[in-house]
Amino acid sequence: MPEPLIEIKNLSVYFYTYAGIVKAIEDVSFDIYRGETLALVGETGCGKSVTSRAVTRLIESPGRIVNGRVLYHREDGSTVDLLKLEEGGIREIRGNEIAYIFQDPHSSLDPLYTVGYQVGEAMEVHDKVKNIKEGIAKAVNVLREVMLPDPESRVKNYPHELSGGMKQRVVIGAGIANNPRLLIADEPTTALDVTVQAQILDLLNELKRKYNATVLLITHNLGVVAETAQRVVVMYAGKVVEIGTVDQIFHNPLHPYTAALLKAVPNPLGEIETLESIPGTVPNLITPPTGCRFHPRCPFATQACRETVPVLKEIEPNHFVACHRY
């Protein structure tokens, strides 16, 4: 039985806007197992990034975590609820035991500081080095780890002197500098050229193997999922609709949304076929549909789907779906 590193339970995040309360994620529950790469997939706006940010309480106003628990199993065997820790406690974990790689390397780095300073600072704030001078010296090794060419001189460069791919290597370096137990990579390749995307994915896979880290990969790219992850959580309109292994999700999708999503993109594990679009649009999360949030777009919707929220059920070992058809 795989051991969970993080257990997310009934997590809900709302945004209090002038237009109304946006129920960005509601009742989201899933586990992240030690040593796995878990992909969180779904369309833009489905709540992937909000879920990952809520894990370490990186939700900014007007957003608020209104319900849930995030149980984190520490190295010493103890378990803490990250949503209940005091601010000092969560700061110790964030960027240290749980680190982030954000989507856009151009805005993740501060243009006023050298990349060596920024990687060194990530270590200094968590007392992994005595001072920033030692941090910058150690940054050379970190940048070598992420295969940045000529790290001894690159450490003195400012972000504008590097290409997009090099910047993302620096951001990954800052993420892994403290040897995190969980690395949350939020669309780490979206802002990069296709050829560089492959290099960054190879790098992430290599680092994960080397350090036996756990990775939560947020992406809308199913090709990236097939290449990188062992398990998949599918989200739609702020809800988890299906959880399974990569093989289960790609070869036996149970939820009509997952099946439609796979038909809407070229299947990286299958043959070339005609692509289909999903009818309708993503719902407004201020007034989400009643019952199953996918019912206005689902060809199998019944009265029960319009009235009752489906809950996740295990249909085969490790394969869960939230749909009244099962």
Binding footprint of ligand SF4 on the chain (CB under 6 A): 255-256, 292, 294-295, 298, 300-301, 305, 310, 323-325
* Site of tokens 């257990």: 7
- For the bound state, the minimum distance from the C-beta of residue 13 to ligand SF4, rounded and expressed in Å, comes to 22
Shortest Å, Cβ 255 to ligand SF4: 6
Give min distance, CB of 188 to ligand SF4, in A: 30
Min separation Cβ 15 and ligand SF4, Å: 24
Contact by Cβ (8 Å): 299, 233: no
In sequence order, the β-bridge partners of residue 216 are 38, 184
Query: By the 8 A CB rule, do 231 and 188 touch?
Result: no
Q: Could you tell me the smallest distance in angstroms from the CB atom of residue 301 to ligand SF4?
A: 4
Q: Do residues 148 and 156 touch, judged by C-beta distance below 8 A?
A: no
Q: How many whole angstroms separate alpha carbon 255 and alpha carbon 261?
A: 10
CB of 283 to ligand SF4, least distance (A): 12
Looking at residue 66, its amino acid is: V
The H-assigned helical ranges of the chain are 48-55, 87-93, 105-108, 115-124, 132-145, 151-154, 164-176, 194-211, 222-228, 246-251, 256-264, 303-307
Burial of 122 from C-beta contacts in 10 A (0-12 / 13-18 / 19+): buried
Pick from 25, 80, 66: nearest CA to 48: 25
Cβ nearer to ligand SF4, comparing 163 with 303: 303
Q: How far is the CB of 273 from ligand SF4 (least distance, A)?
A: 22
306: number of CA atoms within 13 Å, CB side?
A: 7
Shortest distance in whole angstroms from residue 284 CB to ligand SF4:
17
Q: Which helix (H) or strand (E) holds 268?
A: none
Q: Judged by CB, which is closer to ligand SF4: 256, or 283?
A: 256
For ligand SF4, the closer of residues 48 and 239 by Cβ is 239
Query: Among residues 162, 161, 139, which one has the least CA distance to residue 151?
Result: 139
Give the separation between CA 174 and CA 156, rounded to whole angstroms. Answer: 15
For ligand SF4, give the closer residue by CB, 174 or 292. Answer: 292
Residue closer to ligand SF4 by CB (options 23, 324) is 324
Tell how far CA 267 is from the center of its chain: 21
Q: How far is the CB of 237 from ligand SF4 (least distance, A)?
A: 11
Asked if 162 and 170 count as a contact pair (C-beta separation under 8 A), the reply is: yes
